[in-house]
Amino acid sequence: MLSFFVRRLIMLLFTLYAVVTLAFFVMRLAPGDPARIIAGFDAPYETILALRHELGLDRPLIVQYGRYLAALFRGDFGRSYNTRRPVLEELAWRYKNTIILALCAVSFATILGMTLGGLTALRPYSVFDSFAMVLALLGVSAPIFWLGVIFMWVFGVKLRLLPTGGTGTARHIILPSVTLGLALSAVIARMTRSCLLECLGQDYVRTARAMGFAERTVIYRYALRNALIPVVTVVGLQLGYSLAGAVLTETVFAWPGLGRLLVDSIFARDYPVVQGCFIFVAFTFALTNFLVDLLYSVLDPRIRYG
């Protein structure tokens, strides 16, 4: 168990290093001189040269890379080309917003998905089952950003129930997290249904029934517990994928999160911020997957990684 943990941890660190390196060099391949972008296109050559020196862009690439890595170790992500403020400062509060959005969306998705999935598994091939599964299929097929726009129109404009964008109150998070959560809930519902169905067909469930346990006990103590293991994994993975959906949701609802910052920084060619966003996203995603792996072995004692 411990050696598995250490091995996974080393892999996690290696992945992060590779992500940092990839982000650094890919951004340097991009056309467009940041010094010229900041100074403006009609700036005198001297200003651009001075700016390049100030930003360290006149050094050889390998030196820039070394300095970037060294700074990262000290928690210094560099400064934004546009606002001149430390990248970490720009990222921190937006990251918090994205995490809040992701957590709300995944919680909503888990409650909805597991309820639907559980109920359908108990009445397989019924009208309710077909209806719910069609609904789930519709859920994974609708583009998030379009769903967001439609929800905004229905609940924000027509019914005037909820604010259509921005942050502030708890009411602001409802539309974005429901939009983001719907697609995720479809995946969770399908997973819950198929796992529970599989578990209900197992020998130990038949044994439990044969021993005369109440149907409630059979379902909750035997089938559901075992069915939950893969479902927990899927929920964990959805947390990572919700980051991807967050880019689109944040754009629709003007939610000041990491995804929106990333897209804006790409348009502005603000390399340090773009790198910071990628590193934060990859880190969160890799860390969630790592935790899900650990959780998996805790939940299922049969799984013992050597």
Partner 1 sequence: MRTLKTIFRNPGAALGLLGVISFVLIGVTAPFISPFDPNKQNLRAIFRPPSKERPFGTDQFGRDILSRVLWGARTSLIVATSAIALAMIVGTLIGVSVGYQGGWADEGVMRFVDVLLTFPDIFLAIIVTAVVPPGLGTTVLAIAVYNLPQFVRVARAAALGVRENAFVEAARASGASSAYVVLRHILPNSLAPIVVLATLRTAASILTAAGLSFLGLGVQPPTPEWGTMISEARGYIVTAPWTSLFPGLAIFFTVLSFNLLGDGINDALNPRRKAFRG
Q: How far is the CB of 214 from partner 1 (least distance, A)?
A: 28
Judged by CB under 8 A, the stretch of 67-75, 103-111, 186-194, 199-207 that binds partner 1 is 186-194
Judged by CB under 8 A, the residue of 47, 167, 194, 297 near partner 1 is: 194
Q: How far is the CB of 40 from partner 1 (least distance, A)?
A: 20
Cβ pair 19, 279 in contact under 8 A: yes
- Residue 204 sits in the site that holds partner 1 (CB under 8 A): no
Judged by CB under 8 A, the residue of 241, 255, 261, 272 near partner 1 is: 241
Numbers of helices and strands, H then E, in the chain: 13, 0
Three-state DSSP at 86 gives strand
Cβ pair 17, 258 in contact under 8 A: no
- d(CA 45, CA 71) in angstroms, rounded, equals 29
Distances (CA, A) of 228 to 52, 107, 221: 55, 15, 11
Number of residues that bind partner 1 (CB under 8 A): 51
Q: How far is the CB of 211 from partner 1 (least distance, A)?
A: 28
- The token pair at 101 is 């959005």
Q: Which is nearer to partner 1, 52 or 190 (CB)?
A: 190
Q: How far is the CB of 209 from partner 1 (least distance, A)?
A: 23
Judged by CB under 8 A, the residue of 45, 141, 169, 306 near partner 1 is: 141
- Residue 266 sits in the site that holds partner 1 (CB under 8 A): yes
Length of the chain: 306
Judged by CB under 8 A, the residue of 78, 176, 240, 276 near partner 1 is: 240
Residue 249: Cβ-neighbour burial (10 angstroms; 0-12, 13-18, 19+): buried
Residue of 187, 186, 192, 183 whose CA lies nearest to 120: 192
Q: How far is the CB of 125 from partner 1 (least distance, A)?
A: 12
Q: How far is the CB of 191 from partner 1 (least distance, A)?
A: 5
Three-state DSSP at 79 gives strand
- d(CA 176, CA 189) in angstroms, rounded, equals 20
Q: How far is the CB of 212 from partner 1 (least distance, A)?
A: 30
- Residue 19 sits in the site that holds partner 1 (CB under 8 A): yes
Cβ pair 124, 196 in contact under 8 A: no
Binding site for partner 1 (CB under 8 A): 14-15, 18-19, 22-23, 26-27, 29-31, 137-138, 140-147, 149-150, 152-153, 157, 187, 190-191, 194, 234, 237, 240-241, 243-245, 247-248, 251-252, 262-263, 266-267, 274, 278, 281-282, 285-286
